Structure 1
Amino acid sequence: MKIIKNKEFLRNIAHQIDLFNTLGGGVSETYADIKKYKKGAVIEVWAAGVNPEAFRVVLHQNQVTVFSVLQSQDNPEMAAPMFTRIFMLPPQVDLSRIEAVYEDGQLLVKLPYHDSALNPREIEIKQK
């Protein structure tokens, strides 16, 4: 049995097999979890074999969509979605401060709460 020694060829063929597996109905094994903290929440996404550049995070109204696209290196117009997750956001999330960070093989979408959600105040009831 001959072993293929051309590493560039192996990388390209592996990428093509991954792309065709996805197009043929295969999916990326994706893990998503939401951790809640006092000052906000974090969506943790881990997807096997997904490059950080392939992740996309889109905020629209009160929902965050996290997805990944597998792009062909040979043909930039050829792409296949690897996974999609949609998260509905509660009203206490400060939409203007959401950020996404890729670290240690995970995509972290940080959802900070409004300051007013952290410090409730009592409203005086006026009588007329």
Structure 2
Amino acid sequence: MDAHEGQHDKTGKPYIQHCQRVADLVMNEEEKIVAYLHDVPEKAAGWTIDRLREEGFSASVIAAVDALTRRPGEDDAALVARAAANTLARPVKEADLQDNLVQAEQTGLDTTKFAEGLAALAASGN
């Protein structure tokens, strides 16, 4: 995906591989679309929720990507809670946290926020 061109994940691999791993962890086509788009508005220059809408993505995909996009000043707990409230975003957030946890473990980074996010999702029980 051009949106993540030149970007790398925590392990130094092309960022799109993170998106692919997240997509591999979710079940249906719409979840896979959201998985590929989940970091685009937050991490890709020139990409916004409005631009995704202009590209023709469905309202449900747009709402899920928006639920997964961190707001300025937003903490991890608030982001996870918002994602958990959207039925399409929830499995993608879980897969994203799982993949980030594995990457953090592989590179010796702190895994706390990813483990806490997964625990918060499990506790929310939606």
Q: If each structure's helix is expressed as a fraction of its own residues, which one has the higher value?
A: 2
- Please tell me the TM-score bracket, short chain as reference: under 0.3
| TM superposition score normalised by structure 2 | 0.20
TM-score, normalization by structure 1: 0.20
